[in-house]
Amino acid sequence: MKTASSTAPAADPWAATMLGKPAPGAVAERTRRTGMQDVVMFAAITGDRNPLHFDAALAATTPFGRLIVQGGVTSGLLNAVVAEDLPGPGTVFLGVEWRFVKAVRVGEEITARVEVTSVRDDKAICTLETSVRDASGALCLTGKATTYTVPLQRADLQEVSGEAPASPQYLAACAG
């Protein structure tokens, strides 16, 4: 026997997300210049102190020719695009399939790009084509990602969105 709750149409899972349901074909990009500070901060978080990132003399003798940033610095810009722009705040990766096809050198400008390829109607889940290119347009990272967007409608998160990650306001908003 079906109950009223089992026959009622499900609520739109995208309605409670901050930016709403993205459309297939929607695109977002972010550009930034990498720096040695990125390498140092990433190493502090992860422990990745590979000499290719820190020893300029050694790196000069490799096929890269100079210091390169960690792959996580390259892919990290995609985290920002997904969490801030498209699909937007509250979005987390469920899965990624990335190929790193060109190293990013310290000091290079990179552009991360996501394009929505499909959007589920029953859950706030979408699939994305993802890429990171250098300033010349050369592909550095390519692949796909699946994301889930958590419903967020808290005004306090919107108010601190421009705050530095370690600010007391940001930490208080994250704590709940």
Question: What digits encode the pLDDT tens for the residues 106-143?
Answer: 999 999 999 999 999 999 999 999 999 999 999 999 99
The number of beta carbons lying within 10 Å of the beta carbon of residue 126 is 27
Q: Which domains does the chain have, with CATH numbers?
A: 26-150 (3.10.129.10)
Q: What is the pLDDT of residue 171?
A: 54
Q: Do residues 28 and 113 lie in contact, with contact meaning Cβ atoms separated by under 8 Å? A: yes
Over the stretch 51-91, which tens digit does the pLDDT of each residue have? 999 999 999 999 999 999 999 999 999 999 999 999 999 99
Mapping DSSP to helix (H, G, I), strand (E, B) and coil, where does residue 79 land?
helix
The pLDDT mean for the chain works out to 87
Q: Which amino acid is at 147?
A: T
Contact present, 159 and 166 (Cβ < 8 Å): no
Averaged pLDDT, 90-113: 96
> What would the pLDDT profile of 15-44 be if each residue is shown by its tens digit?
888 898 999 999 999 999 999 999 999 999
Residue 49: per-residue pLDDT? 95
